[in-house]
Structure 1
Amino acid sequence: MLDFKPSPQKPLLFFQQCSAYQASLTTRIHTSSGTEVLVKHEGNRMGLGSFKGLGGIYAVAQLISDQWEVIHGSPLEPSELLSSPVREMAQSISFVCASAGNHGLAVAAGARLLGASSTVYLSQAVPDNFEKALLAQGAFVIRSGNTYEESMAAAMADANSTGAILLADSSWPGYEYPPSLIMEGYTVIAEELKKEFERDVNWPSHVYLQAGVGGFAGAITYMIRHNWPVQPIIYIVEPEFAPCLKASHEAGKPVNVAGPISTMGRLDCKEPSIIAFNILQISQVNYITVSDKDADDATHKLHKNGLSTTPSGAAGFAALLKTETLHTAQANQAFKPMIFVTENANTCIE
């Protein structure tokens, strides 16, 4: 089993070569009760509308770098990844994935940036506007099946038959390295925050991390527990219809859950990433679920604060609002919560 030990400096060095990269904004809002909330807003990340841009683009770059090393016997420097010789080599490399939104867009953007090709499988349920966004990134789009799971099966079959590199954003036994690169890309977010908090001396007391399969939550939790000198309480936030990480924690092993479809579409995942599960299981985190109504209400409240997002993007704020009274009542502890707005309201649906 892969031992996840990411280095945020590796993706940071790569992204510093990319004109689209800049640290995402940290803003402050107040709840109706007056609590000040730190907000890390990922809606403009890499021009793709969500935090996923960091993971997919970096994973594509690192997998191409790996291929270069196999062929030439020496690793690439980050400054060489966007060079003409690398782009020429990458023309023979194809990536394939399934998506209902942001992950596929990141993979397609990464492939286009480095000169490779990409194929993204979509279920029939994915809106046409997302297909158009993928085509604009140069991806080859194939509709397959009525659910994400069916499109994922088609992507896996494609990789097996064509030799394309499967780049999924979840992990399972025997498939861990590519998704670990995606998670390593996400560590940039926590590193940006660490530098900011060290400068401003304004560390949060509580951090709320929304989770689907857990890649984002696992990567940020790892960085907090290993790299932040001031340790907050961490909440892992899931839809009440899809608490796969909470259920896995309680079972002591990765388990699947069943439930209705949640309006938090990007978080509506019934099976956890095993990498994320392993990280969270030893990281002293709390699990909390939020209802679709909780997330919808939080979305509207963020909008009133000038932050336009989706129920998935607002899930962390929904969890904060559920726990706010408890923490503000603890007079012996300052409550300085932090949330993540993980996507814009007009982002493609994952």
Structure 2
Amino acid sequence: MFLMNSHPDHHAPLDPRDSEMLGVAAATEVERFLTFRENSAPTPLVSLSGLASHLGVGSIHLKDEGQRLGLGSFKALGGSYTVIRLVLEEAGRRLGRSLDVSELHDPEVRAVARTMTFACATDGNHGRSVAQGAELVGARAAIFVHSHVSDERVAAIARFGAEMIRVDGTYDESVREAARVATENGWTIVSDTSWPGYERIPSLVMQGYTAIVHEALKALPEPPTHVFVQVGVGGIAAAVAAHFALALGSDRPFFVAVDPARAACMVESARAGRPVAVPPGEPTVMAMLDCYEPSLVAWRILSRVGDAFMTVDEEDAVAVMRRLASPLGGDPAVIAGESGGVGLAGLMRAACDPAIREALGLGPSSRIFVVNTEGATDPAKYEHHVGLSPTAVLARAAEPA
């Protein structure tokens, strides 16, 4: 499925709240926060010139978030950053003064953090980030996981000391249950999706993601002409689209939001012209994108600066995992989980479909930017799909040509 954005708000200025949260000044502050994190460094920007030649485009640059802060996904930027911000804000209220991130480990700040519990629902990666942030500041974390989250992903979250709570049903049902239990217990919900009356914290999560584009614009030889990013509830896609728009203005790239066909809540919202939920069906292999209701903030942004919406199928996601593991024309190998390469899968499908290719204006002068949003966060599933373990892929890539 492919749709050009026909919403009346398309090309309208971003809502002032979103401009403040996702602009250059905000990204600069996120970058400053990251300097206080252990093992923090810009993630690699990988040139895929062999694949670009194969697809008939000028260049493809991939930001590899599979190496972010030791957590294996871009989510490391959102949940933990938000936990830190909220602890500093609460400590500042109690202490009666403004606090800087440099004071995060002061005894009086940690004493406040010990009284706080942060909760969220997750497909795996966001919960790991919230749990890591809570451990970092000395707070508690309660993480809600739905029926389809693998035991391996649950274990990866639990190692940060979080309380793990299983919920029957889908991701969206776990979101509602997390909100209910947190409200009853006075916990702070750190969700990466928003709903009426709950927008600031998801916007802070998205603010963390602006580091991806902020870093990329420093490293790219030229700004991209086209960007393809996977959706889920929409946080990553909206943050990337908004920051490109705010940083580059009228020179912003053409932005394509890519959904799994089995969980196409943002595509269906674009079709309807308003946020809509889609009925749950068979789970998608793109587990981190197995979401059936879009974030309201993300929709507000993408209705303005999302230029096209499309879906990819199960085999597209697996094919891109294999292509990145066994690259073309001397390209470096990249470890991408089931959801990691979905934006690139969208590009590959679009480039091979004459009608979509023409609609997007893809050609030899096109400069493409995509994000690998996760590495092999479930190594067993990765090996099942690719036929090689992540270790084997890297070992093969290191062999002399």
Matched, 1:338 2:369: yes
- Residue 40 of structure 1: aligned partner: 63
1:141 maps to which residue? 164
Which letter maps to 1:204?
A: P
Instruction: Using the TM superposition, give the Cα deviation of residue 127 of structure 1 relative to its aligned residue in structure 2, in angstroms.
Output: 2.2
Mapped pair 1:291 → 2:305: no
RMSD (Å), alpha carbons = 2.2
- For 2:148 and 2:316, locate their aligned partners in 1 and report how far apart those are by CA, in whole Å: 25
Q: Does 1:120 align with 2:143?
A: yes
**Deviation digits for residues 189-230 of structure 1, max 9, x if unmatched?**
111112223xx3x22221111100100000111100011264
Q: Does 1:89 align with 2:112?
A: yes
Does 2:241 align with 1:221?
Answer: yes
Q: Distance in 2 between matches of 1:50 and 1:107?
A: 13
User: How far 1:331 moved relative to its partner?
Assistant: 8.9
Q: Which runs of 5+ in 2 are unaligned?
A: 1-14, 328-332, 382-401
Partners of 1:102 and 1:347 within 8 A in 2: no
Distance 1:240 1:59, change over 3 A: same
Aligned residue pairs total 346
What secondary structure, in the 3-state scheme, does the structure 1 residue paired with 2:69 have?
helix
Question: Alignment partner of 1:280: what SS?
Answer: helix
Partners of 1:124 and 1:337 in 2: CA distance: 36
How far apart, CA to CA, are the structure 1 residues paired with 2:42 and 2:186? 35
CA shift in 2, pair 1:237/1:101, >3 Å: same
Scaled by the length of structure 1, the TM-score of the pair is: 0.92
The 1:249–1:150 alpha-carbon spacing in structure 2 relative to 1, beyond 3 Å, is: closer
Normalised TM-score (structure 2)? 0.81
Shift of 1:330: 6.1
| Identical-residue share of aligned pairs (%) | 34
Aligned in 2, Cα 1:277/1:330: closer, same or farther, shift over 3 Å? closer
Counterpart of 1:9 (choices 28, 39, 46) is: 28
After TM superposition, the structure 1 = structure 2 runs for residues 67-78 of structure 1, keeping only pairs within 5 Å, are: 67-78=90-101
Question: For 1:337 and 1:232, how far apart are their aligned partners in 2?
Answer: 9
**Distance (Å, rounded) in 2 between the aligned partners of 1:332 and 1:127:** 40
Query: Which of residues 65, 71, 75 in structure 1 aligns to 2:88?
Result: 65
Question: SS state of the match for residue 10, structure 1?
Answer: helix
The counterpart of 1:315, out of the listed 314, 330, 342, is 342
CA-CA distance at 1:68 after TM superposition: 1.6
- SS of the residue corresponding to residue 126 of structure 1 reads coil
Q: 1:193 aligns with which of 199, 216, 228?
A: 216
Partner Cα distance (2:292, 2:301) in 1: 18
Matched, 1:182 2:212: no
Is 1:254 aligned to residue 275 of structure 2? Answer: yes
Which residue type is aligned with residue 321 of structure 1? M
Long gaps (5+) in structure 1 = none
- TM-superposed deviation, 1:155: 1.6
The equivalent position to 1:129 in structure 2, one of 139, 143, 152, is 152
Which residue of the partner structure matches residue 245 of structure 1?
A: 266
CA distance in 1, matches of 2:339, 2:92: 38
More deviation, 205-214/125-134? 125-134
Which secondary structure does the structure 2 equivalent of 1:71 belong to?
helix
Task: For 1:345, give the aligned amino acid.
Answer: A
Once residues 115 and 326 of structure 2 are traced to their aligned partners in structure 1, the CA distance between those partners, rounded to angstroms, is 48
2:253 equivalent to 1:232? yes
CA distance in 2, matches of 1:154, 1:63: 22
* Matched residue, 2:294: 272
**Structure number with higher relative contact order (C-alpha < 8 Å, ≥ 6 residues apart):** 2
